[in-house]
Amino acid sequence: MTMAGYGLGRYIVRRLLQTIPVVLGVVILNFLLLQMAPGDLATVLAGEAGGAPKEYIDQLRQRFGQDQPVYVQLFNYLKNLLVLDLGYSFRQSAPVLDLLLKRLGPTLLLMGATLVVSLLIGVAMGLLAALWVRTWKDHVISVAAIIFYATPLFWIGLMLILVFSIKLDWLPTSGMEDVVAFHEGFARAVDIARHLVLPTVTLSMFYLALYARLMRASMLEQRGLDYVTTARAKGLTERQIITRHVFRNALLPVITMAGIQFGSLLGGSVVVESVFAWPGLGQLAYQSLFARDFNLLLGIFFLSACLVVIVNLLVDVIYVLLDPRIRIG
C-alpha cells in the first residue's frame, strides 16, 4: 500500500470514529422527541377497536414496554442497538430490521437515480449558463432553474401522473413494478426502470435547479481568479482552461452541496414515495408515523442518520481526490 493510500485509510477510519457520537446523539434526540409526541401505539389500537377500558390500554403499554420510565426505555433501546436489535414492530408484526432491509433497496434506487440525474443535468445547465453568461440562453436556464426550485414536489408529481400516465399512457402511475405481469430477468429490470422514471424526475427537479445555480456561480467565480489569467498568458485555449482547470475547481462546491442535501433528499423521498406509492423507507415512515409505530420510526431515523453520515464521508473522500491542495494524514 502506498503512503497516500495508507493516509486515506487512516482518514476514513478517523472519520468513522467521529461519526459514532453524531449517530448516538441523533438516536437519543429522536427517541426523546417521539416520547414527547402525543399518543402512542396502545391508544391507537384501542381507538381502532372502538374504545377500550383503561386496564386494557395499560396492559398494551406493559406489553410494548411503554409503562417504564423514559430513561429505562432509552437505556434498553441503546443496549439493544449495540447488537443491531432495533426492536419489533407490533403494527407490522415483524422485526424492525427486516422491514428496513426490505424497504432500503427501493429507496436507495430512487435516491441514487435522483442524485445521478440531478447532478448531471444540474451541472450541465450551470456550465452552459456560465459559458453563455448574460445572453438569452443564460436567462432561459436561470428562469427554468428558479421555476423548478420553487415548484412543490407533490404538485410536480401529480402533474406528471396526469400528463404521462393518464393522458398519454406512456408510464405507470404508481408502484415499483407490475406485480401482475410476473416479469423476470431483463424484462423485470425494464419494468422497474419504467416505474422509476416519474418519481426520479419529480424528486430531481428541486435539486438540479439548486446544482445549476450553484455551478453557474462557481464557474463565474473561478473564471475570474488569477490562475485563469496566468493560464491564458501561457497560451492555453479557452477550452483547455475550462476543461483542465475551471470545471474541476467549480465542481467542488457542487459536490459538497450534494452531500449536505442528502438528508433533505431523504425527507423529499417521503413526499415522492407517498405520491407514487413507491415501496421505500419514505412511504414506510409516513405509514408508521400515523400508526404511532415508534420502534419502526426510530429504526428509520437511525438508518437515515447512518446513510447521511456515510454519504458525507464519501463526499469528503471525493473532495480529497479532486482537490490536490487538501492534505490528509
CATH of the domain at 190: 1.10.3720.10
Lowest mean pLDDT among 47-56, 73-82, 89-98, 191-200: 47-56
Has residue 255 been placed in a domain? yes
Task: State residue 45's pLDDT score.
Answer: 61
Global pTM reads 0.80
Reported as a pLDDT band with limits 50, 70 and 90, residue 44 is low
Q: Is 121 a residue whose pLDDT tops 90? A: yes
State the cell numbers at 117.
Answer: 440525474
Reported as a pLDDT band with limits 50, 70 and 90, residue 173 is confident
Q: Is 323 a residue whose pLDDT tops 80? A: no
Q: Is 8 a residue whose pLDDT tops 70? A: no
The mean pLDDT of 285-290, rounded to a whole number, is 82
288: exposed, middle or buried (Cβ count in 10 Å: 0-12, 13-18, 19+): buried
Q: Which of 147, 156, 107 shows the shortest CA–CA distance to 308?
A: 107
Has residue 329 been placed in a domain? no
Task: State residue 3's pLDDT score.
Answer: 47
Q: Is 5 a residue whose pLDDT tops 60? A: no
Task: State residue 126's pLDDT score.
Answer: 92
Specify the higher pLDDT residue, 89 or 196: 196
Has residue 145 been placed in a domain? yes
Number of domains in the chain: 1
Q: Which residue has the cell 433533505?
A: 264
Task: State residue 51's pLDDT score.
Answer: 58
**Whole-Å CA distances, 175 to 158, 191, 220:** 14, 11, 42
Task: State residue 48's pLDDT score.
Answer: 55
pLDDT 10s digits, 63-93: 766 777 778 888 888 888 888 888 888 777 7
Q: Which backbone phi and psi does 95 adopt, to 5 degrees?
A: -60, 145
Q: CA-based angle 85:86:92, to the nearest 5?
A: 125
How far apart (Å, rounded) are the C-alpha atoms in residues 63 and 57? 10
Secondary structure of the chain: what % helix, strand, coil (to 5)? 75, 0, 20
Specify the higher pLDDT residue, 50 or 159: 159
Residue 158 sits in which domain range?
Answer: 112-275+306-322
Has residue 70 been placed in a domain? no
Has residue 259 been placed in a domain? yes
Provide the mean pLDDT of the chain: 82
57: exposed, middle or buried (Cβ count in 10 Å: 0-12, 13-18, 19+): middle
Has residue 119 been placed in a domain? yes
Has residue 64 been placed in a domain? no
Specify the higher pLDDT residue, 121 or 270: 121
Has residue 50 been placed in a domain? no
Specify the higher pLDDT residue, 290 or 304: 304
